[in-house]
Structure formats: structure tokens, C-alpha cells
């Protein structure tokens, strides 16, 4: 099922890694139609070049008014002989694209950007950025409250809940939130505030005691988007910048698994 592709390709990757650790010399992925459909590519890093893929740092500049943010879905559309369409949504969540070039306001910031780009080794390391149009659990930019997002229903046994944000009332699109701002997090169980929890990596809320069966678990928070530079090269020109031309600096959202 294309809707489960991201999850199962991750499991296949993990299986291949485990096989390599067991010194199995030949490993195959025998699923050519699915490989072609999903564009699966396995790029295992060599041990000599292994690095932390994410730096938990914030992009150092505020986005300018002309900065662009573009959410993208992947949809397969087949047109029948009668002209009707059959549409299949291949991604369960959108992927954001940013162009942050218009946020650079001075040559000093331009120099700082180059240093930031080099520290990330171009696209090799991810970082955080605040989406100016959507960074809160309360609507898009509102002040968070502990009732904003329903993240689960207690069953008396489950203690871990992934922070999410839902869009739409009917068949909502659910977005996992992996980079919340911890100092803004507010949590409620069954309508009452609770502080008996810790925030684990990738936005997982871990309760000291599992919420009781039937209790709504809700949370409010501000959050950032995990991104990377989209290109290996950063083209900047002091002459063009002095003439009022903003550089193009594309970023792309990272898909993270809790």
C-alpha cells in the first residue's frame, strides 16, 4: 500500500542493516514494481563518513516578508478513457519547501549565512527553522493552550504519545511534530492540567503513569520544522546583494521518524 510505503521502506532499510551486521554477504530487495513506484533509493553511509545527520540549532535569521513556504504532496493521478480521474495520495503528510533568501538583510548576515552553511556541510546536516505561517498547535500562529490538539485516548497502559497536529475536521490530515519547543509545551488529561510527563526525542510525550482508559490526552505547543539545505552549493554575490537582489536559498523539510 503506497500509504504505508515510508514505514515499510524504513523497516526494509533496518533489515538490510541488521543483515550487514550479521556479515551476510549478499542482500537483495526483490520488489522492483514498488521500488519504481516509490522511488526507493538506499544510500548507506560509509563508516568513514558517518556523521550526526541533525544539528539541533535554529536557523539564525528571521524569514523576510518575501520568503516563500510551499507545502508539497505526492499524488498519483490516472485519467480514464471517459475523462474521469482516479487519484491516489502517496504521502500521508506534506513536505515543506522554503526559500529563505529574502530574509538576508545585510552583508554581515550574508557572511553569517555562509558560515552557517559550511557548519552544516551543505545538505549533510539538518537544522531547525520556524515556519512564520504555521508554528503553533493553536490554529496556525496562536498562543498554545493545553486543549489544542488531541494526541490520543488513554487506555490505562500506553504511556508514550507522539505529538501531532491535525488539519481539517473531516478525515483530518495528521502531521507528526518532531521538533516542539519544550518550554512551550502544555499537557492535559481528561480536561485537567498535568505535569507528570517528560518530553523524549522526536516529540514523544512520555507519562510517568499511563493515562486512564477513555481519557483524552491533549497538548499545546510551538514547534519548528526540521530542514536541510536543498543544494550542495550556495551562490551568493555581494554585487547583486548591494543592487537589491536577494539570493535564492532553498531549504527542504526532513521526514523524521520517532
- Domain presence at residue 141: no
Q: Are residues 125 and 237 in the same domain?
A: yes
pLDDT-based confidence at residue 54 (cuts at 50, 70, 90): very high
Total domain count for the chain?
Answer: 3
Q: Are residues 33 and 157 in the same domain?
A: no
Q: Are residues 18 and 68 in the same domain?
A: no
Can you read off the three cell numbers belonging to residue 227?
530542514
Is the pLDDT confidence value at 242 over 80? no
- Residue 204: other Cβ atoms inside 10 A: 15
- Domain presence at residue 92: yes
Q: Are residues 125 and 57 in the same domain?
A: yes
More confident residue, 102 or 167: 167
- Domain presence at residue 229: yes
Is the Cβ–Cβ distance between 61 and 109 less than 8 Å?
yes
Q: Are residues 55 and 162 in the same domain?
A: no
Q: Are residues 3 and 126 in the same domain?
A: no
Is the Cβ–Cβ distance between 117 and 111 less than 8 Å?
no
pLDDT-based confidence at residue 44 (cuts at 50, 70, 90): low
Is the pLDDT confidence value at 34 over 80? no
CA dihedral 33→34→39→43, nearest 10 degrees, is -110
**What average pLDDT does this structure show over 117-135?**
94
Predicted local distance difference test score (pLDDT) of residue 244: 61
pLDDT by residue (tens digit) across 150-173?
Answer: 999 999 999 999 999 999 988 899
Mean pLDDT, the chain, whole residue set: 87
Q: Are residues 188 and 155 in the same domain?
A: yes
pTM value is 0.76
Range of the domain at 21: 1-47
Q: Are residues 192 and 244 in the same domain?
A: no
Q: Are residues 56 and 130 in the same domain?
A: yes
Q: Are residues 78 and 205 in the same domain?
A: no
- Domain presence at residue 66: yes
Least confident of 48-57, 175-184, 192-201: 48-57
Q: Are residues 117 and 82 in the same domain?
A: yes
Predicted local distance difference test score (pLDDT) of residue 214: 96
- Domain presence at residue 12: yes
Q: Are residues 29 and 71 in the same domain?
A: no
Predicted local distance difference test score (pLDDT) of residue 142: 96
pLDDT by residue (tens digit) across 58-90?
Answer: 999 887 667 889 999 999 999 988 999 999 988
Amino acid at each position: 500500500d503506497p500509504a504505508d510505503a515510508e514505514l515499510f521502506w524504513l523497516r526494509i532499510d533496518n533489515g538490510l542493516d541488521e543483515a550487514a551486521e550479521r556479515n551476510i554477504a549478499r542482500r537483495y530487495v526483490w520488489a522492483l514494481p514498488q521500488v519504481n513506484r516509490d522511488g526507493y533509493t538506499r544510500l548507506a553511509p560509509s563508516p568513514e563518513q558517518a556523521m550526526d545527520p541533525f544539528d539541533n540549532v535554529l536557523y539564525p535569521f528571521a524569514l523576510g516578508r518575501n520568503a516563500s513556504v510551499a507545502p508539497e504532496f505526492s499524488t498519483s493521478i490516472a485519467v480514464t478513457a471517459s475523462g474521469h480521474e482516479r487519484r491516489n495520495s502517496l504521502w500521508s503528510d506534506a513536505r515543506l519547501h522554503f526559500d529563505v533568501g529574502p530574509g538576508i538583510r545585510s552583508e554581515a548576515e550574508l557572511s553569517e549565512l555562509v558560515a552557517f552553511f559550511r557548519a552544516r556541510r551543505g545538505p549533510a546536516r539538518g537544522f531547525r527553522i520556524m515556519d512564520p505561517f504555521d508554528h503553533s498547535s493553536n490554529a496556525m500562529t496562536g498562543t498554545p493552550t493545553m486543549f489544542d490538539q488531541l494526541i490520543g485516548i488513554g487506555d490505562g497502559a500506553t504511556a508514550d504519545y507522539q505529538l501531532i497536529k491535525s488539519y481539517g475536521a473531516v478525515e483530518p490530515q495528521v502531521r507528526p511534530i518532531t521538533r516542539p519547543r519544550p518550554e512551550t509545551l502544555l499537557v492535559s488529561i481528561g480536561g485537567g492540567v498535568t505535569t507528570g510527563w517528560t518530553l523524549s526525542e522526536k516529540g514523544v510525550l512520555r507519562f510517568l503513569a499511563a493515562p486512564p482508559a477513555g481519557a483524552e490526552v491533549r497538548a499545546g505547543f510551538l514547534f519548528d520544522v526540521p530542514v536541510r539545505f536543498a543544494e550542495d552549493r550556495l551562490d551568493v554575490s555581494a554585487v547583486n546583494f548591494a543592487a537589491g537582489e536577494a539570493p535564492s536559498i532553498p531549504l527542504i523539510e526532513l521526514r523524521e521518524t520517532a
